[in-house]
Structure 1
């Protein structure tokens, strides 16, 4: 029993160490559809997400948002076809302006607003998403480091709810 507990603890520790983007692994359903579940993606480097979603769009990969998708993760809204993406009731989006981190040895990191990248990200969103964000204080050109959380009925205006067919 003790050996089983140690093995389980080891597996849990390994899962905790895997980056979020690596957990969003494509799954092949029996129907032949390639599907990626996004359950906990904190975002990251914008250009990496542009590449990831462009590849997924071209491969016609379906995306099921079933947890948090924050920061650069939200680029899916502008890069994937709407029919490729659906959201479960647990889905949450988090938006904010882009920033750049400057690092110097022996000094604390400096985080600064990146206006050009913020505008690029903002402009990539569909018009209804941009209008929603602008109504909450982010126009794309201004710094908005606070996260604008979207869930429930507001999220369903941005992403269609998943159907049974999406999940099979």
Structure 2
């Protein structure tokens, strides 16, 4: 299992660093600016989010977080350039450590903490986000399955608030 986790961690790093072609069509404003809105994203498979945000980054897309962004969704903060990501007042983010799920037919799923992947994800976040998460008990490789919710004034300290220019 450790070998698999290390291999996955290596793949994540390569995906985050390699250019990717944009596969989604972001919203285009009359001004010619483009933005993708995140409003109800519960997260999912880390590798898929690394690929998606790498695509957005490479395409020069702006991301507006206007609602829920949880789990792997929060990787937007580590992959996108900070000036390309903003939060609306109603935005909220949820962070937690990574897990692997082993599924076998006829057996219950086995969910295990993945310390190497958790640490890789943690290290992808900007330092101000890592520092805040550490104050909440998540230091990277340690298990922190409880969601750390960030919203309001605290979120605006970690991610820049959207301006009128971001929405025009």
Q: Does the alignment reach a TM-score above 0.5?
A: yes
Normalising to structure 1: TM-score of the pair? 0.84
> What are the ranges of 5 or more consecutive residues in structure 2 without an aligned counterpart?
1-23
Q: Which structure has more RCO (C-alpha within 8 Å, separation ≥ 6)?
A: 2
Residue in structure 2 matched with residue 132 of structure 1 by the alignment: 132
> What are the ranges of 5 or more consecutive residues in structure 1 without an aligned counterpart?
1-23
- Once residues 107 and 122 of structure 2 are traced to their aligned partners in structure 1, the CA distance between those partners, rounded to angstroms, is 31
Q: Secondary structure at the match of 1:52?
A: helix
- Once residues 48 and 116 of structure 1 are traced to their aligned partners in structure 2, the CA distance between those partners, rounded to angstroms, is 18
Tell me the C-alpha RMSD between the 2 structures: 1.1
- Once residues 33 and 125 of structure 1 are traced to their aligned partners in structure 2, the CA distance between those partners, rounded to angstroms, is 26
Residue in structure 2 matched with residue 56 of structure 1 by the alignment: 56
- Once residues 141 and 98 of structure 1 are traced to their aligned partners in structure 2, the CA distance between those partners, rounded to angstroms, is 9
Q: Secondary structure at the match of 1:89?
A: coil
8 Å CA contact 1:97–1:118 kept in 2: the answer is: yes
Residue in structure 1 matched with residue 116 of structure 2 by the alignment: 116
**Of the two, which has the highest radius of gyration?**
1
Deviation at 1:25, TM superposition (A): 6.2
Deviation at 1:153, TM superposition (A): 1.0
Deviant stretches of 4+, over 3 Å = none
Deviation at 1:32, TM superposition (A): 1.2
